[in-house]
Amino acid sequence: MANSKAVIRNGGAQAFYSPATDHIQLPPAEAFSSAEGFAHVAVHELGHWAFAKPRLDLTKNGAFGSASYAAEELRVDIAASMVCSTIGIGTDIENTAAYVQNWLQRLKDDKREIFRAAADAQRIADFILNFHPEYRAHLAAAEAVTGQDAGEDQQELAEAA
């Protein structure tokens, strides 16, 4: 997270990203039942940070509880699970699955939404993972072998949706 240069403030009882001040607020690590839980929440909030206009600009400016906010939450939570899985951080899949369950109505209303959400989540995950030096080295090696930018596949998926 340090490589991202995101402004991260520690303290308080809630984790959130503030678009108004462009900072991530995290409770102390001791407030979580595990280091993995803390890491997953931190990556989730970094996902909101990545989602914002100065970076990936995927925001639709939805208020808490709105359909656009639900869409952002779905994308960010999928991305956080992708990032944690990629770098070997255990994740509470039951908790994540229960959380994503809240957004199933949106998926039922629009059958293609899952494809758009997955494509956006992959963009968010790739953006975050590019701050991880070992991941960057792995990606560069893969691109050298294939001769193709690894991001092209995600762009094709997004366009298909």
Flag whether pLDDT at 94 surpasses 60. no
- pLDDT digit string, tens, across residues 34-57: 889 899 999 999 999 998 888 998
Question: Would you place residue 140 in the very low, low, confident or very high pLDDT band (cuts 50, 70, 90)?
Answer: low
Question: pLDDT higher for 34 or 146?
Answer: 34
Nearest Cα to 79, choosing from 49, 122, 139?
122
Q: What is the mean pLDDT of residues 109-134?
A: 90
Mean pLDDT (the chain) is 82
Flag whether pLDDT at 70 surpasses 70. yes
pLDDT confidence of residue 161: 47
Question: Would you place residue 31 in the very low, low, confident or very high pLDDT band (cuts 50, 70, 90)?
Answer: very high
Q: What are the CB-based long-range contacts (under 8 Å, 24+) for 111-118?
A: 112/161, 113/71, 115/157, 115/160, 115/161, 116/158, 116/161, 117/71, 117/74, 117/75, 117/78, 118/78, 118/157
Q: How far apart are CA 27 and CA 33, in angstroms?
A: 12
Question: Would you place residue 16 in the very low, low, confident or very high pLDDT band (cuts 50, 70, 90)?
Answer: very high
Question: Would you place residue 71 in the very low, low, confident or very high pLDDT band (cuts 50, 70, 90)?
Answer: confident
Give Cα 89 distance to the centre of its chain: 14
Q: What is the mean pLDDT of residues 85-102?
A: 70
Flag whether pLDDT at 78 surpasses 70. yes
Bridge-based pairing of strands 23-26 and 16-18 is antiparallel
pLDDT confidence of residue 22: 95
- What ranges do the domains of the chain cover? 2-160
